[in-house]
Amino acid sequence: MSGAETKHPKHPEAIKARAEAVLARYKPLIADWDAFLDVLVRPKPTCIVANAARLDRDRLAGLLAGGPADLTPVPWDRAALRVPADARPGTWWAFLAGLYQVQEEASLLPTAMLDPQPGERVLDLCAAPGGKAARIAMAVGPEGTVIANEKEPRRLSAVRDKMKRLGLTNLTSTVHDGGDYPLEAGAFDRVLVDAPCTSEGTKFRQGAGYQGSEPEFLSWIAGQQAALLRRAAQLVKPGGRVVYATCSFAPEENEAVVDRVLAELDGGLQPVAVRPPGLQPAAPVASWGGRAFDPGVQAGLRLWPHTHRTGGFFAIAFDKPADAPPPAAPPSRHVDAWSGDPRQWIGPVLEKFDIAGDPLAGLRVIERGDDLQLVAAGHSAPAKPAPVSTGVPARRARNRTPKPSTALALMVGGGARARVVEVTAAQRDAYQRRQPIQPAPDQLAACQARAHLSDALRGAQDGGGDGMAGPAQGYVILRYRGVPLGVGFLRPGPPAEIESQFPRAWKL
């Protein structure tokens, strides 16, 4: 967020000249100023992070081997792979299949420092676009709860998209000012404050320059950031953890905010040095503008573009004393209009696909608008603020012909043994572009319809036939190399054709 953002020329020398003028106040903090300016003209590097609910980093790397870009592991994050700066991983087939999410490497840091554990209840106070909340949801697992809050309702669409594509049944989104988040939401084991900021550390590379952060704007945004950190301290349980982070260079938004809140809380939060193994961060700023900061600020860390090959970033972790008084307000739990066993409502949709195991174990179903949503059975959403979205859409509630959603197919389609079609790479790409595909007869082996008994008997009496009546019209799940891609509608022909049911909003 910025109060004064403008476009600047794309020419490298023009970008460097503008950076020299706009960011000159940081020269005392940067030993190699020329290297700092040089890196601002290069494309911003990024990472992909494996969806831990579906596969690990090695399996993801194997699926993408020989693809459009070379990938290298991030040494300090066991789920992340670095992607060349000129790559477009948000357009790759595996992204659309929900196997990973895209994040800038520096943005992996807050979640690593938060260190969420299975079964915990975690709040992301400023969640959009949702990458960190998604990563937390993977970490806490089906027995945990993640609340992804955002002040601006329009920004939640990106969060909802990740919920569906990645299959996050343990996540609820809410809309509220994070600085005044209701205490009635209950206490949380961990709270992330990835605060709105001037974004100087990331946006300069993307073609956005800054007229300069005026003192009035910096004072206003720092007040918002301090309010978020104070509220996080109130919402976290005794013994719990808070992480505060920004993608700004400005000490006014980083060390100064921490210094201010530490003084106000007087021991209510204790800075703790967290250093992910394999990462060598820079130290925070000790003083700025003639003001020396609390020594506890040095528990934090900084990443600089020219030394870490990431965006600019600041982060610090705090632990709440175990003997601190618990939050005063009693927790409230949202009760859905109705909630039931998904086997009754979703089971019939899946029967035709003969899914191995029990794909609906540990889930419940709720009705939200036109959708039946799958939600983790142990999920604990607050009553206040009211949830905006919860879980993953599985099917339309009132469709005459039950159809599994793409999100449901991505979640359970790997175990399908019937009405499943293994596609080629070319067919995969056509399907994700919402184009029809023409399967070969051997690809439809799992889509055969059982013949009527009289027909089967007649075939046997004639000395032939296997009791099958050829491929049957209807919905099928498409897979590539065992990975579910979504749902198609098979028309057996001849010639057979599968109409793509891939979501319009997701298509290539």
130 known ligand binder: yes
376 strand-pairing partners? 363
Q: What is the pLDDT of residue 205?
A: 56
237 in any annotated domain = no
62 in any annotated domain = yes
Q: What is the pLDDT of residue 199?
A: 84
230 in any annotated domain = no
153 known ligand binder: no
CATH number, domain containing residue 71: 3.30.70.1170
Residue with tokens 């998604």: 134
Q: Which two tokens stand for residue 233?
A: 């301290």
Q: How many CA atoms lie within 13 A of 88 on its CB side?
A: 4
268 in any annotated domain = no
463 in any annotated domain = yes
Tell me what the mean pLDDT of segment 253-275 comes to. 97
Task: Indicate which residue of 47, 197, 247, 447 is catalytic.
Answer: 247
474 known ligand binder: no
239 known ligand binder: no
Tell me what the mean pLDDT of segment 434-448 comes to. 96
Helix axes 255-265, 215-235, angle to 10 degrees: 50
Q: Which of 1-5, 352-356, 402-406, 489-493 has the lowest mean pLDDT?
A: 1-5
State the chain's mean pLDDT as an integer: 89
Which residue would you say has higher pLDDT here, 340 or 376?
376
152 known ligand binder: no
Q: What is the pLDDT of residue 172?
A: 96
Q: Is residue 394 over pLDDT 50?
A: yes
367 known ligand binder: no
Segments forming the whole domain that contains residue 79: 46-103
What is the rounded CA–CA span in Å between residue 235 and residue 229?
A: 10
What is the rounded CA–CA span in Å between residue 224 and residue 114?
A: 21
Q: What residues have CB less than 8 Å from 203, skipping those under 6 apart?
A: 2, 5, 210
Q: Is residue 216 over pLDDT 70?
A: yes
191-211 residue pLDDT tens:
999 999 988 887 765 544 454
pTM for the whole thing? 0.91
What is the rounded CA–CA span in Å between residue 316 and residue 474?
A: 53
| 197 has catalytic annotation | no
354 known ligand binder: no
311 in any annotated domain = no
The domain total for the chain is 2
Q: Is residue 508 over pLDDT 90?
A: no
194 in any annotated domain = no
Tell me what the mean pLDDT of segment 159-168 comes to. 96
234-255 residue pLDDT tens:
999 999 999 999 999 999 999 9
Longest dimension (CA), the chain: 98
Burial class (CB in 10 A: 0-12, 13-18, 19+), 311: buried
Q: Is residue 365 over pLDDT 70?
A: yes
427 in any annotated domain = yes
Tell me what the mean pLDDT of segment 318-323 comes to. 97
Q: What is the pLDDT of residue 16?
A: 82
- Domain-ending residue, one of 103, 118, 136: 103
Reference 168, options 346, 365, 355, 411; nearest CA is 411
Q: Which two tokens stand for residue 478?
A: 């498409």
